[in-house]
Amino acid sequence: MTALLIGITVALLQILAFEFLKKFDKNSIYALTLSGIGFLYVGYTWTDIPTVIITLIQAVIFVLIAYYGLVKNTYILATGYFLHGLWDIVYPFWGDTTLIPPHYDWFCMSLDFTVGTYLIFKVMKHNKKSLAIN
């Protein structure tokens, strides 16, 4: 439960920090973050070759999702965060959980779902403003 609360808190602090960075393209920062979080698993699992191969594949997939989310649509970026949250949920069912920090799955999943939800609401708010202008 603590890992879940810490993940949500870190996500909210991340969102607030990014909101204060007015001159930065926030979608770029979120895409870079999504690209990086997949590689954390690579760093944790490098001692087990079969596992590191799978985590390397997922990391590359999340880089591609982040890229397409950045250049095509923020919904793709949000979907990437939700998919990474699902990755965090399923990893313990097949992966060696001793390779990752304790409760990392709960921490990362809650962070991913919080950021993904924020990105969806952000797009919906932007779309609502666009419709009001037209």
pLDDT digits (tens, 9 = 90+) for 44-73: 999 999 999 999 999 999 999 999 999 999
Token readout for 65 is 């999702």
14, 34, 43, 60: which is closest to 101 by C-alpha?
43
Nearest 5°: CA angle at 56, between 27 and 43? 85
DSSP state of 98: G
pTM: 0.91
pLDDT at 133 over 80: no
Residue among 1, 32, 2, 10 at smallest CA distance from 114: 10
